[in-house]
Amino acid sequence: MPHPDRFLLAGVMGWPVMHSRSPLLHNHWFGKHGLAGTYVPFAIRPEHLAAALRALHPLGFAGCNLTIPHKQQAMTIVDEVDTVGRRIGAISCVVVRPDGSLAGSNNDCYGFIQNLRQSQPGWRADAGPVAVLGAGGGSRAVCYALAQEGAKQIRLVNRTFARAKGIAEEFGGPIEALPWESRHDALDGAAMVVNATSQGMTGQPALDIRLDKLPKSALAADIIYTPLETPFLAAARSRGNRAVNGLGMLLHQGRPAWKAWFGIEPEVTPELRDLLERSLSAQG
């Protein structure tokens, strides 16, 4: 959809935000589609989030993405939240409607599943048990996505058992909460294991997990993309498991945002992935 009459604007709000690779991703798409526009990072303190979101309309923004720590608080500010966002309890994208009202959605589920499908074309959620480590916002999106895709058994493990139990009770279905002490055994017979904690991220300790019970045929996935290969993924790969990092989740969640903002569905290409990987490698 061409937009010859205006300069297109979108951005990402976080605190902090300058580490985000979203501007690189979205500005690549502006160039690729020959559009006049820009995508900017906004460092917004939590106490200023409501004012910042309400300013999007008068400033002419199509919308914005949200990153830590704003995904939950923004739900109380926008005018409408879609079904997926309500179920997950967080939104990652805001769309400014023509009348100035704000609509919130969560595209992390879509990003997670599309990343798996692109990197592992034969992947199926119902191939066997899935172990998910962590019970934060990222884990909620992962568990919801896996359940929607038909996973028959999701073994949810978290340091604070009550949080895992809360998700299992809220979502129901195939999710079984397990205590952190059971994390090693939770991998026994699993078709897939997902690290949805921050452990292994740059500046954080490595994920404390033994992989000896994980079948060699299982897929290991991480929602982290800094670094591109966490110690968890490196250990899985070294023993012969297929491994998928979190970069594709970031790339793919941008597509429905563009569809909602600009009426365009951009592609996640090898060129784009290479651009982001080179940026991350330069940082590391």
**Active site residue ranges:** 71
3-state helix, strand, coil in the chain (%, to 5): 40, 20, 40
The answer to whether the beta carbons of residues 178 and 155 sit under 8 Å apart is yes
Determine how β-strand 175-179 pairs with β-strand 154-158.
Answer: parallel
Strands 93-96 and 63-66: antiparallel
At 27, list the tokens: 């500005």
Spatial separation of the C-alpha atoms in residues 112 and 90, rounded to whole Å: 15
Q: Yes or no: say if 163 and 143 are a contact pair by the CB < 8 Å rule.
A: no
If we measure between CA atoms, which residue out of 264, 248, 247 comes closest to residue 256? 264
Contacts of 274 (CB under 8 A, 6+ apart): none
Contact 102, 77 (CB under 8 A): yes
* Strands 80-81 and 154-158, sheet pairing: unpaired
Which pair of structure tokens corresponds to residue 206?
């490595």
